[in-house]
Structure 1
Amino acid sequence: MTSSATFHDFGVPTVLVDILTGQGISEPTPIQAATLRDSLAGRDVLGRGRTGSGKTLAFALPLVARLADSKSPRTRRKPRALILVPTRELVTQIDAVIKPFARAMGLNTLTVFGGVGQNPQVRGLDAGVDILIACPGRLEDLITQGHCRLDAVQVTVLDEADHMADLGFLPGVRRLLRQTPKTGQRLLFSATLDKAIDVLVREFLTKPVTHEADSAQSPVAAMSHHVLGVEKDLRVPVLIDLTSAPGRTVIFTRTKHGAKALVRQLNSRGVPAVDLHGNLSQNARTRNMEAFSSGAVSTLVATDVAARGIHVDDIALVIHADPPAEHKAYLHRSGRTARAGREGTVITLMTPDQRADVRSLTRAAGIHPTTTHLSDTQHPVLRELAPGERVLVEGIAAPVAAPQRQSRKAPSNRAANGRARNSSPGSGARRAGAGSGGGGNTASGSGARRNGAGSSSRSNGTGTGTRSAGSGSTGNHSAANFSRRSR
């Protein structure tokens, strides 16, 4: 098996390969190359690969291909395939990935998760569904109410199994798996394999074939790891400096309150940011993720629980505003960047009382970060880690009624939503998109995106126009508070 093997070589149907080609995907990632042949053959597979390694397509392609081949009829309230995942955001993102392939094969999909009304989900089950993508809790509720049965499931996928274990979901997962036919195919994917995962494997997988690629426990070569030593009163100013540079940034905090407070501080200083944590309603979570993934807002502040729901490419900078308590959380957080072979930078802020903990953390994670101690925000390392002109936006706190979608051709009206500070002709305005794909507004000047330009959602700022300015209440930090860029 060579790295030049194609999807055709592994037996992926031509119809699905054509869709991949249309998406610019021509060669399998290591985890896909390792697992596709066995998955397509109907074997139970245990796959281990870090976040961003391509696990979703590794199970989506064989699932769709095998369901299409089976030609069994769609039955009311009895899904033919089940994908279990730990978070609502991941449900939505997997659905977005798998839907084009399913449609091409005449299959449909349905998402099931809590935090929203269940009536649309019930109607979807009543109509019959081929591929059900679900969080365990809501699915158990629907089964208990008689809206769903799992005895017709032919293929079961358990994604992010280690995260389900961390969240305490495994008892519910086991109850659900026991309702699926023992003769069905089961695919289990995880970034790490520990004792909790072993229990699932022994009980539910039959003679599984194990494949490992891009383990989350090993440092990612494409990531550069840095520790910035700061006094407590310098922590927020450093974050403002880093996030006011061009590019997508994810900041992690330990608590929901910390995430909310930090977003309020960033917004008040001119950095459009949204948060993602368990206290938000599902609608707010969806709006905020949409704003971040579309490029309308380029800074996302999240908690550890929400970390696994962030699957967005072209995140160049991950900042641990609060160092995580354990190395697994560090690796999972950091996995938001350097996805699909891209480069990325990981920064950990360390106050004097955290030095011993951070040393232990990085040692356990197996990384050797570059450590720099800062006395102010003028240190040159900040410009090295986040290159580009710093641009802050005034007027973010002014409320708006609803998000406005901008014309693809027209530049944004910065005067209506707040005006940018610290920008000038010849220097790239903050997060202006002029690359291939990503759909931001454009700005004159250089303003190169971290680690290069020209990729989706990254920009070297070579167009004309202005940066989209955020506006809206900072109370719930919803994406509705920011004007959207054209896509």
Structure 2
Amino acid sequence: MSTFSELGLPDAVVTALARNSITEPSPIQAMALPDALAGRNVLGRAQTGSGKTLAFGLPMLNRLAGRSDRPAAKRPRALVLVPTRELAFQVVESLTPYASTLGLIVRPAVGGTPFNKQVDQLRRGVDILVATPGRLGDHLRQGTAILDAIEITALDEADQMADMGFLPEVRDILSQTKTGGQRLMFSATLDREVQSLVRQFLPDHVEHSTEDGRASVTTMDHYVLLVDRGNKDKVLAEIGARNGRTIMFARTKLGCDGITERLRAVGIPAESLHGGKAQNQRTRVLERFKNGRTPVLVATDVAARGIHVDGIDLVVHVDPPADHKDYLHRAGRTARAGENGTVVAIVLPNQRNTMRRLTSQAGVNARPVSVAPGSTELATITGSQQPTGEPLPDNNIRTERRFDSRPRTPRFDGSAPRHEGRPRREGSYSERRPREASHGEGGAPRRSSGGFRGRADYGSSPAR
């Protein structure tokens, strides 16, 4: 395998990579970088956590290195399109240390952040623009960004952009870039919509794949934890009390808030992340999760698609994912960059067939294990512990209006209905996200079915 130095990257970038202990390419980088650095169009298939950001970011830096002139006002030289705000911020954070060694400027353009600030940054000149389709579309319509100087474009998480309904905007954006410009596209799967995008905008491309869209990370263990309905909340609380960084997935915004409230009620420092929060709230929550102040993050699928945080060693499916692709994207939050990780699904008796089908489609061999609160099996698999039972402050967790003081959340048993239909707009201007259902049948919020209700269940129990 070639080193970054042998690939011909600028010395300053190679040195900066080495400072971060990155000396050898990951599999997808080793496959894609030679062709991308040679100026070819590249289609890369790899799961989250495989090193895709550098696979498209390093060719951009290499192409723009050594320029003596500054980028023209409103005309970035390179473009990265991503499906979510959080992913945009993390791409900027990942590329900036290496871009700065070359004197290149990387800036985000996403919804939920000041539009005029982005206008000013674009006017001053941007080398690499990292954008979500909705917000970039706003800039194009208002003439505050022009794409005729784009030399290289990258699409990250293309399948997720298709799932979120972004492809019309993506097509419009790509049609405004130079026809002969280089294009790099990365996707975990190649669904029909993604394939149509490839045919239209990725001519004469070279394809590289580290897997077939199914699970391939060998450092990740999968379990289906079979629980009785009345024990699910208690099992979840003991998992939340473990040592280490944990991310839990719920299907709805209201479900996230309800799970978070219940965990905090028994002493677990958890916070929720979903599209119902303002961007500055989401940024602060994610930062506290990154620095360890909040060890448990409860998130929806949409909000979590941009979470690329190292050190997450446990992923918990509180609600079953919508499909096998969501299972893989959730699981991809752990076992990143060669680390070990565990993925568990909390499954009730009526959900076993659904989870068996999902794991089979995802190519996952998930071992079923019956667990109960305080069981040895639960502690061995997840590192669960007894919660303190001491309630934590609300910490502004609630974002939904409450009609009384009782907890109202979608059920932990996964019975909240799935959203159907096209995604709706998110944030200011026209950035979009899928609608995250927050109520049960008839519009009324559902209550969780049994389980812990605060410190009464745990307050007098000794910690293990």
Q: Same fold (TM over 0.5)?
A: yes
- 1:340 is paired with a residue whose SS is helix
Pick from 197, 209, 223 the counterpart of residue 212 of structure 1. 209
User: Which residue does the alignment assign to 1:76?
Assistant: 73
Deviations 1:392-443 (A, max 9, x none): 373521669xxxxxxxxxxxxxxxxxxxxxxxxxxxxxxxxxxxxxxxxxxx
CA distance in 2 between partners of 1:369 and 1:399 (Å): 36
Please, which moves more after superposition, 82-91 or 226-235?
226-235
In the alignment, structure 1 residue 384 sits paired with structure 2 residue 373: no
In the alignment, structure 1 residue 344 sits paired with structure 2 residue 313: no
Pick from 304, 309, 331 the counterpart of residue 307 of structure 1. 304
Could you tell me which runs of 5 or more consecutive residues in structure 1 were left unpaired when the two chains were aligned.
Answer: 401-487
Pick from 50, 53, 64 the counterpart of residue 53 of structure 1. 50
Deviations 1:80-123 (A, max 9, x none): 11100000000000000000111111111111111122111111
Asked whether the equivalents of residues 41 and 184 of structure 2 are also in contact (C-alpha less than 8 Å), the reply is: yes
User: Which residue does the alignment assign to 2:281?
Assistant: 284
User: Which residue does the alignment assign to 1:136?
Assistant: 133
User: Which residue does the alignment assign to 2:14?
Assistant: 17
Please, which moves more after superposition, 23-32 or 193-202?
193-202
Pick from 257, 268, 272 the counterpart of residue 269 of structure 2. 272
Distance 1:161 1:126, change over 3 A: same
* Percent of residue pairs identical: 48
In the alignment, structure 1 residue 353 sits paired with structure 2 residue 369: no
CA distance in 2 between partners of 1:257 and 1:391 (Å): 23
The one-letter code sitting in structure 2 at the alignment partner of 1:68 is: A
Pick from 206, 219, 227 the counterpart of residue 230 of structure 1. 227
Asked whether the equivalents of residues 39 and 59 of structure 1 are also in contact (C-alpha less than 8 Å), the reply is: yes
CA distance in 2 between partners of 1:26 and 1:184 (Å): 29
1:23-38 map, 5 Å: 23-38=20-35
The one-letter code sitting in structure 2 at the alignment partner of 1:83 is: V
CA distance in 1 between partners of 2:219 and 2:211 (Å): 12
The one-letter code sitting in structure 1 at the alignment partner of 2:174 is: L
**Which 4+ residue blocks in structure 1 deviate beyond 6 angstroms?**
none
User: Which residue does the alignment assign to 1:409?
Assistant: none
Asked whether the equivalents of residues 95 and 111 of structure 1 are also in contact (C-alpha less than 8 Å), the reply is: yes
Deviations 1:3-46 (A, max 9, x none): xx211122222111100100011111000100111111111111
CA distance in 2 between partners of 1:360 and 1:191 (Å): 19
- 2:368 is paired with a residue whose SS is strand
Deviations 1:64-88 (A, max 9, x none): 1101145553100111111000000
User: Which residue does the alignment assign to 1:165?
Assistant: 162
Distance 1:44 1:393, change over 3 A: farther
User: Which residue does the alignment assign to 2:319?
Assistant: 322
Asked whether the equivalents of residues 238 and 387 of structure 2 are also in contact (C-alpha less than 8 Å), the reply is: no
CA distance in 2 between partners of 1:349 and 1:175 (Å): 41
Asked whether the equivalents of residues 40 and 62 of structure 1 are also in contact (C-alpha less than 8 Å), the reply is: yes
User: Which residue does the alignment assign to 1:127?
Assistant: 124
Deviations 1:267-324 (A, max 9, x none): 1111111111111110111011101111111111111112211101111100000111
The one-letter code sitting in structure 2 at the alignment partner of 1:351 is: L
CA distance in 2 between partners of 1:131 and 1:393 (Å): 49
In the alignment, structure 1 residue 242 sits paired with structure 2 residue 239: yes
Asked whether the equivalents of residues 70 and 125 of structure 2 are also in contact (C-alpha less than 8 Å), the reply is: no
Asked whether the equivalents of residues 378 and 384 of structure 2 are also in contact (C-alpha less than 8 Å), the reply is: no
TM-score norm. by structure 1 comes to 0.79
The one-letter code sitting in structure 2 at the alignment partner of 1:151 is: D
CA distance in 1 between partners of 2:229 and 2:86 (Å): 32
Distance 1:371 1:60, change over 3 A: same
**Shift of the alpha carbon at 1:222?**
1.1
Could you tell me which runs of 5 or more consecutive residues in structure 2 were left unpaired when the two chains were aligned.
Answer: 397-464
Please, which moves more after superposition, 388-397 or 23-32?
388-397
Ranked by relative contact order (alpha carbons within 8 Å, sequence separation 6 or more), the top structure is 2
**Number of corresponding residues:** 396
1:430-441 map, 5 Å: none
CA distance in 1 between partners of 2:142 and 2:229 (Å): 51
CA distance in 2 between partners of 1:189 and 1:75 (Å): 28
Please, which moves more after superposition, 385-394 or 20-29?
385-394
In the alignment, structure 1 residue 43 sits paired with structure 2 residue 43: no
User: Which residue does the alignment assign to 2:458?
Assistant: none
Please, which moves more after superposition, 192-201 or 54-63?
192-201
Asked whether the equivalents of residues 162 and 192 of structure 1 are also in contact (C-alpha less than 8 Å), the reply is: yes
CA distance in 1 between partners of 2:155 and 2:278 (Å): 25
Distance 1:399 1:163, change over 3 A: closer
**Shift of the alpha carbon at 1:205?**
1.4
